[in-house]
Amino acid sequence: MAELERLEEHRARIEDWLHACFQDCAPRGNLYDAMRYSLLAGGKRLRPVLVLEACRLCGGAVEDALPFAGAIEMVHTYSLIHDDLPCMDDDDLRRGRPTNHKVFGEANAVLAGDGLLTAAFETMLAPGQKLPPERVLGAAGILARAAGGRGMVGGQVLDMAGEGRALGLTEVEELQRLKTGALIRAAVEMGCCVCTARVPEYRQ
């Protein structure tokens, strides 16, 4: 199979998996509608595709990696919802559609982001995982570190602190390494982690 065809197959698997999320959840106002609105808004699905492809390249079963691929996309989506809020970037459009807070209100958008963040870890740590516990916990730990203050959230702090002034090259590199690069790196590490006995070391 050609490389591009395989990556497109990964993306299609991820789309199917994401569309099945939260369908059986009991209604909580419009919480799940808001979560699905942003989660299913399209995009390249770069991070989950990297999880699946890294898993495949390391000799693992792509199906076993799907929950982890879905989890990293949930975290990425939550970050976009919060990034668009008036207290952050105050954006009205995301991927050609009104942003989450424009459709569901600011409070519901915050909660939708919170819901996706916690659902990511619920997904990875759900009972019935086929993988050994150390691999599951290893992958969850990689994502937690990459998404938090030492990664994506820390990068957002630098982004906000730089508003209204010109950033130097070193500052821009650090901002991008954390805000964008941390999750991309985590995607590859997670894919390797769920199919190898040795948990990859996460270096800050």
Residue at 45 is within a domain = yes
Q: Do the domain assignments include residue 203?
A: no
State the burial class of residue 89 (Cβ atoms within 10 Å of its Cβ: 0-12, 13-18, 19+).
middle
Q: Is there a domain that residue 10 lies in? A: yes
Residue 175 domain flag: no
* 44 pLDDT more than 60: yes
The answer to whether residue 189 scores a pLDDT higher than 90 is: yes
Reference 184, options 143, 150, 155, 156; nearest CA is 143
CATH number at residue 30: 1.10.600.10
**Cα–Cα distance measured from residue 68 to residue 26, given in angstroms and rounded to the nearest whole number:** 23
Q: Indicate the pLDDT class of residue 163, thresholds 50, 70 and 90.
A: confident
> In the predicted model, what is the mean pLDDT of the chain?
92
- Residue 51 lies in domain: 3-128+186-193
In a domain, 134, yes or no: no
CA atoms within 13 A on the CB side of 187: 23
Confidence of residue 202 (pLDDT cuts 50, 70, 90): very low
- Rounded to whole angstroms, the Cα distance separating 70 from 49 reads 10
Report the share of the chain in percent with pLDDT over 90: 81
User: What is the pTM for the complete model shown?
Assistant: 0.93
Q: Identify the pLDDT of residue 201.
A: 54
Q: Is residue 138 part of a domain?
A: no
- For residues 161 and 155, give the distance between their C-alpha atoms in angstroms, rounded to a whole number: 10
**Which tens digits make up the pLDDT trace of 115-138?**
999 999 999 999 988 899 999 999
Provide the domain count of the chain.
1
199 lies in some domain: no
Q: Is residue 169 part of a domain?
A: no
pLDDT at 197: 40
For residue 41, is pLDDT > 90?
A: yes
The 10s digit of each residue's pLDDT in 71-130 is 999 999 999 999 999 999 999 999 899 999 999 999 999 999 999 999 999 999 999 888
pLDDT for 196 equals 60
